[in-house]
Structure 1
Amino acid sequence: MHVFYLNGNFISADVAAIDPQDRGFLLGDGVFTTIRIESGFPCHLALHWERLQTSAQRLKLKFTLDLITLKNLITTLLAHNNLSSQTASLRITLTRGNGSRGLLPPEIQQPTLLITCAPLPQYSETFSVYLSDFRRNEYSSLSQIKTLNYLDNIMARCEAQEHGADEALLLNTQAKVVCGSMSNLFVVINHKVYTASIREGVLPGVMRSIVLQFLQQLNITVVESAISAAQIIQAEEMFLTNALMGIKPVIAINHQAINQGEIGAITKKLQQLVS
């Protein structure tokens, strides 16, 4: 029986319920994060917790769960779902809770906190990508927050699938390629690693920050600046990152091979370090 953690209780999935007036359900008024679990251990939990806390503060969401309590809840939830010894994915969802009709939030918040887990999905060893028509708005501060409104990402991913690709790459309003629909993007050109800066409209991914630290340790030049669609075709290497799948090499963009379809040396080195 699948078990969730919902508002202070561990509850069976078949009886768990979100209130129909919950603002997360009605308006996307909330945030979330996803965490990789290895043998019962939540990878980089402190970084996820810090980002969740920062996002909640910026959106004025009530989030009072401390790190130790969160870790204990995760351990118990994994045990309830027989996932303590497996590789799994865990999602923490926080909404503003119930409210009356309209946009203004209630004066007294009763937030909804939902934690779910499941076996980790199987990811491809290599990815193909497609340049999407959907755009990231770098002028919106919400582009830096993992909110519950993921429609641009969903539609971009569907567009990529329709074109036979595994992931969509999104441009910002300045026509710079900044990220994937579910990932941060790194591109190697002339032995330099390019990745979009946060101010260019990307989510500050947990794995992104870890990869940047490894690149510094390897003395590899990093340029935090997005590149154009014309430049990206010149890539010697390309890889995607997120917390669940880690680092995944890109071997084709818009059906054009990158590095003759081979995984590059920098990508391989980073994969070894992360694993």
Structure 2
Amino acid sequence: MIIYFNGRLISADEFVVSPLDHAFLYGHGLFETMRVYNGRVFRLKEHLDRLKDAADYLRWPTLPSHAELKAAIMSVLNENQLTDASVRLTVSRGSGTPRPDPASCGQPAIIMFALPLPAPLPPDGWSIATVTLQRNLSSPLVRIKSANYLDNILAKNEAKARGAQEALMLNTAGLVAEGSMSNLFFVTAGRLITPDENSGILPGITRNCIIELAQASGMPVEVRPVKPEELTEADEIFLTSSIMEVIPVKMLDDRLIGRQQIVPGCFTARLKELYRERTKKE
């Protein structure tokens, strides 16, 4: 596998992380995971805008331009002969002293690699489990795609131990937030509902696209705080992520969703179809 590292294309076997790299030492890094369709990165600008906004929030030095990052991504795809793939772009704050002092770091380090897409999801949907770990509404980490992913990993581990494929995380106010690696939507009486940005979520690129598509199709959309008990009354639930796209949910905490006998439900299936159509156009 050929990867990109600080302006060079090298074999993954040649890549060496400095023992003083602050992403390695402290999780002081950012990342974006993007999906490539027929050689095009879907909503690349939105991914890079989110990365830049997070870097600005952390008061990092200026990152390379969107054009430079796009050229690097395309070079990685070309070198690995991939046209349908996932791309991981990681930015570390860089190497510094062995103390948590960002001022000691130089320029951020940039690493990119591309991989073939994972196997298709099972057609009957996922099971999700409400976990004990909560999204901290006062933490800035809930709003940036941080390399410090321990909360997500612990939540995912708890869900898997209970036989589920994904975690459902509440926030410290007891309201619904998101999955450990996904955003959550549900359908009730023909209305599409998803937690708002003040609920402790990372506003996903796919999430934003689904909201746009639903509104354009005439479907009522509510972006607001969500109580956990609303999910038990939902007709349909689905998750979104850049790589997995739209993931139907068949069970929540060992309870079947709604009265549907077929998963995905009709609204989920329609939005998934609209999303796939959009990926062919952008």
Q: Same fold (TM over 0.5)?
A: yes
TM-score range, shorter chain: over 0.9
**Separation in structure 2 between the aligned mates of residue 32 and residue 149 of structure 1, nearest angstrom:** 10
**Between the two proteins, what is the percent identity of the paired residues?**
36
Question: Which structure features the higher share of strand residues?
Answer: 1
- 2:116 paired with 1:115: no
Instruction: Give the RMSD, CA atoms, in angstroms.
Output: 1.4
The aligned runs of 1:90-239 (5 Å cut-off) are 90-106=87-103, 109-124=106-121, 125=123, 126-239=125-238
Letter in 1 for 2:12: A
Query: What letter is aligned with 2:229?
Result: A
Deviation at 1:49, TM superposition (A): 0.7
Within the alignment, does 1:251 sit opposite 2:250 as a pair? yes
Q: Which residue in the other structure is 2:270 paired with? A: 269
Structure 1 counterpart SS, 2:168: strand
SS at match of 2:132: strand
Cα deviation for residue 178 of structure 1 reads 1.2
Unaligned runs of 5+ in 1: none
| Alpha-carbon distance, 1:117 to partner | 0.9
Q: Name the residue aligned to 1:36.
A: 35
C-alpha displacement of 1:62: 2.4
Q: Deviations over 1:128-170 (max 9, x none)?
A: 1111111001222221100011111101111111111111100
Distance 2:261 2:129 in 1: 15
Following TM superposition, by how much is the alpha carbon of 1:96 offset from its aligned partner in structure 2, in angstroms? Answer: 0.8
Counterpart CA distance in 2 for 1:261 and 1:241 is: 22
SS of 1:133's equivalent in the other structure is coil
Contact preservation (8 Å) 1:252, 1:261 = no
Q: Aligned equivalents of 2:127 and 2:241: distance in 1?
A: 16
Relative to structure 1, the CA distance from residue 91 to residue 63 in structure 2 (aligned partners, 3 Å threshold; closer, same or farther) is farther
Q: Give the AA of the match of 2:91.
A: L
1:55 offset after TM fit, Å? 0.7
More moved, 136-145 vs 112-121: 136-145
Separation of aligned partners in 1, 2:25 and 2:120 = 31
**What CA distance in whole angstroms lies between the structure 2 residues aligned with 1:212 and 1:236?**
18
8 Å CA contact 2:4–2:76 kept in 1: the answer is yes
Distance 1:49 1:92 in 2: 10
- TM-score, structure 1 length as denominator? 0.95
Report the alpha carbon displacement of residue 242 of structure 1 after superposing the two structures with TM: 0.7
Partner secondary structure for residue 271 of structure 1: helix
Cα distance between partner residues in 1 of 2:149 and 2:62: 21
Matched residue type, 2:274: L
Shift in Å, 1:16? 0.7
The residue type paired with residue 25 of structure 2 is L
Unaligned 5+ segments in structure 2 are 277-282
AA at the equivalent of 2:73: I
Change in 2 beyond 3 A, CA 1:63/1:94: farther
